[in-house]
Amino acid sequence: MLRLRMRHRFQRARKPEEKGVRRQAILKAARKLLGEVGTSELSLSELARRSGVSKANVYRYFESREDVLLRLWIEEVRELGERLEGAFAKLAPGDANGVIAAVVAGFATQPKLCELMSIASPVLERHLSAHAIVSAKQNLATLTAHLAGLLHARIPEIPIEDCAWLAGAASTWVAGIWPAVNPPPAVVEALSRPELAAMQPAFERDFTRLLSVLVKGLLPRRQG
């Protein structure tokens, strides 16, 4: 009986739609696991166990753990887009301060997105094939275009191409600053000293200031 159950459990998906369902199931399990452990602790062995498949089967859908994490990053960006779409719908066109506040809150609400952004270039992309990177970049380009459209709809004075640049610049800043706002214990202890306290960045405060400067610089100058 146990052998029959195991055989059913690891039944191979053969049709494209079946493979898509299995792939999404693995990603769903990975996202839940990532909520419990950090990116460096996510292992394919534990992911396979939670997904109800063998580790070898995971490799049929993802080329490595870095590939899984990159796909999770894409899912997090998609969720950010949905979150901002809902937040922007409540704003009047031209409410730049409201847009900035919504963007900052959106990123702050998704710490895993920020963490994945911070390791994408220095860690994940260094361990992936060109095929996996192209696929991920294509998805991210589509999502960035969507974010640019959302920004342009609420700040129409800024051209759509500049909105796309703004979305990319914001993401790059988050990727760079995230390790600094989440330092290891020794750095936390060091920055607790009064003479070093000013060196500790504050994510929401500094992100708001950055976006305010960028948006102001992209807005057309009014005559008179």
Q: Of the candidates 40, 62, 84, which is a domain's last residue?
A: 62
CATH number at residue 171: 1.10.357.10
pLDDT at 224 over 50: no
Q: Of the candidates 20, 38, 62, which is a domain's last residue?
A: 62
Residues 51 and 58 sit within 8 Å (Cβ to Cβ): yes
CA neighbor of 168 nearest in space, from 132, 140, 197: 140
Q: Per residue in 178-188, pLDDT tens? A: 999 999 999 99
> What pLDDT was estimated at residue 18?
78
Looking at the structure, do residues 94 and 201 belong to the same domain, yes or no?
A: yes
Supply 43's token pair. 């292992």
CATH number at residue 20: 1.10.10
- pLDDT band for position 15 (cuts 50, 70, 90): low
Looking at the structure, do residues 94 and 48 belong to the same domain, yes or no?
A: no
Looking at the structure, do residues 136 and 207 belong to the same domain, yes or no?
A: yes
pLDDT at 10 over 60: no
pLDDT at 222 over 80: no
The count of structural domains within the chain is: 2
Return the SS3 of 154. helix
Q: Of the candidates 62, 85, 114, which is a domain's last residue?
A: 62
Looking at the structure, do residues 15 and 57 belong to the same domain, yes or no?
A: yes
Looking at the structure, do residues 140 and 47 belong to the same domain, yes or no?
A: no
Looking at the structure, do residues 114 and 34 belong to the same domain, yes or no?
A: no
Looking at the structure, do residues 38 and 69 belong to the same domain, yes or no?
A: no
Q: Per residue in 52-68, pLDDT tens? A: 889 999 999 999 999 99
Q: Which domain holds residue 8?
A: 1-62
Residues 29 and 72 sit within 8 Å (Cβ to Cβ): no
